[in-house]
A and B are shown apart, each in its own frame.
Chain A
Amino acid sequence: MDQRIIHISVNGKSYEREVETRRTLADFLRIDLKLTGTHLGCEHGVCGACTVLLNGHTARACLTLAVQADDCEVTTIEGLAHPDGTLSELQLAFRECHGLQCGFCTPGMLTTLTEFLNENLSPTDAEIRDAISGNLCRCTGYQAIVDATLLAARKLREKRV
C-alpha cells in the first residue's frame, strides 16, 4: 500500500495523518476526520455536493487526492460559521429564504457561493445562476437559492458601510 504522511489544516485546525495515496480528499474528510458535512453524490465531479475550499478556492473534493492537499488549508461546510457558532450571512439567508429542502446539495452550494460572494458583492441573478451551474439541486428549482444569495449579498454590503 502506497502511503504518505500529510499535514493539512481543516477549518483552522491542523492535522498530521498517514493516508493511502489513492484516498480522495472527500473520503479523507469524511472517513479519517469524521467531517461528514461534505457530501458525496456522484463521485465523478458532476453534482458539486462535495465542493470544498482549497486554499480559498472551490474544488471538487472527489476529484482531488488527499495527498494533493498536503500543506493546504481546507474549508468545509463545518468551517463556514463563525468560531462562536453563529451562522454566516449566507447561511442565515439560506435559512431565511428556504434555500434548501433535503439539504444534500447545500454544503456544495454554500462553499461555492462563499467563494463567489468573496469576489462579487453586487451579483445579478444571471451571475449567481452561472456561479452555481456546477452544483445540482433536485429540490428547490434553484430560485430560493438565488434569492438567498441576493439577500446575503445585500446584508454583506450593508455591513461594509
Chain B
Amino acid sequence: MKPAPFTYHRPQNINEALKLVAELDNYKIIAGGQSLMPMMNFRFLMPDHIIDLNQVTELSSISKEGSFLFLGSMTRQHTIHTSAIVQESAPIITEAYSLVSHRQIRNRGTYGGSLCHLDPSSEQPCFTAALDGVIEVASKDGRREVPIAQWTAMYMTPDLAPNEIMLGAKLNIWPVTHGWSFMEYSRRHGDYAVVGVAVLVNLNKDMHIEKISLTLCGIDAAPVRLNIAETSLINHPADEEAIQTATAEIENLSNIMEDALNTADYRRHLAKTLMRRAMTVAFDRAKQRIS
C-alpha cells in the first residue's frame, strides 16, 4: 500500500505548471489528492511524474464577476462549502457540498480535482451542469473555454489535452428569487451518490415557471439535463403536472448505467423519486421568495 516511485514537481505558478505538462510524459497532476492518492497507494496508477499544484495559489479563488460566479480549480471544497459569496449567489452549491464526503476530505479536496476526476456520481460536475458552467482551460499556447455539456469526453475522462490544465469554471448566477434543491441517495452518509438531482427554478409574478434547470448525476458518464422538460415547462405553473413532465422524461431515458449493486431500473426509480422531492422543495422555496 505504498505509491510506486515517481519524480515530484512543485511548480510555483501557472506558467511553470504549463511548461511541465507540455514537456513531461506519463504525468499526473495532484490537486487535493483525495482520489489520486488511493489509486496510487493501490498501484492502480503508477505515473512517472507527479505535478503538485498546491503551491500555485493563483488557482485558488472564489469571485463574483457580473452574473457569473468563478471557482478556481484549486479551491478547497471546504472553502467553497463555507463561503458567504457562494451561499448568497448559488445556495445550491452550499447544499451540494454538505453531501460531499467528510470534513477531512473536503479540507484537502478541490473543485477542479473533482471536475477532472469526473466521477459520474460526483455532486460537483452535477451542480456545475445545473448552473451551465463553462470550464476555463489553459495550455502554453493559450486559453479556451469548454461548456460543461462538452466537458465529458468519455467515462471519467474530461476534454482536457495532455498539455492543458483546468483553471476554474464560470457558473451562472440565478436571480435572487430563485428556488433550488440538491438531493441524493447514497448508501452511507458522505459516499458518492447512487443518484443525485439538482433543481433550480425561477418563477414570474403569475407564479409560472420563467426558467428551470433539471439535472441528474449517477445516470450516465456525464451529468444529464432534462432538456425536453426544461423547454416545455416555460410558462407552466409550478405544480404536480410540472413534476410529472420531468419524471416522464426520466422514464424515457435510455442507456442508464448499471453496476453490480445498482441496476438501471433502480437508478431510474431513484431519479424519479428524488426529482419529485427536489422539485417540490425548489418550487416551495421559489414561491416563498417571489411573494
CA distance A45 to B50 in the complex (A): 19
Instruction: Flag if B34 contacts A45 (CB, 8 Å).
Output: yes
Instruction: Flag if A134 contacts B52 (CB, 8 Å).
Output: no
Instruction: Flag if B6 contacts A2 (CB, 8 Å).
Output: yes
The interface-forming segment of B36-44, B88-96, B275-283 is B36-44
Instruction: Flag if A133 contacts B37 (CB, 8 Å).
Output: no
Contact A64 to B4, CB < 8 A, known contacts A57-B107, A134-B190: no
CA distance A59 to B32 in the complex (A): 10
Q: Does A67 contact B (CB under 8 A)?
A: yes
The interface-forming segment of A21-29, A96-104, A144-152, A153-161 is A21-29
Q: Does A117 contact B (CB under 8 A)?
A: no
Checking B6, B41, B50, B101 against A62 with a beta-carbon cut-off of 8 angstroms, the contacting residue is B41
Instruction: Flag if A51 contacts B6 (CB, 8 Å).
Output: no
Q: Does B1 contact A (CB under 8 A)?
A: yes
CA distance A124 to B167 in the complex (A): 38
CA distance A27 to B2 in the complex (A): 9
Contact A48 to B37, CB < 8 A, known contacts A21-B6, A57-B107, A68-B52: no
Q: Does A81 contact B (CB under 8 A)?
A: no
The distance from the CB of A130 to the nearest CB of chain B, in whole angstroms, is 7
Of all A-B residue pairs in the complex, the 4 with the closest CB atoms, nearest first, are A134-B102, A21-B8, A44-B38, A63-B37
* 15 examples of A-B residue contacts, CB within 8 angstroms: A2-B6, A21-B7, A24-B41, A44-B1, A44-B37, A44-B38, A54-B107, A57-B78, A57-B107, A59-B104, A62-B41, A64-B33, A65-B37, A67-B10, A133-B190
**Can you add 11 more A-B contacts, CB < 8 Å, to A2-B6, A60-B105, A134-B103?**
A2-B7, A27-B2, A45-B37, A45-B38, A58-B104, A59-B107, A63-B38, A65-B50, A68-B54, A112-B104, A134-B105
Residues of B near any A CB (own CB < 8 A): 1-8, 10, 30, 33-34, 37-38, 41-42, 50, 52, 54, 78, 101-105, 107-108, 189-190
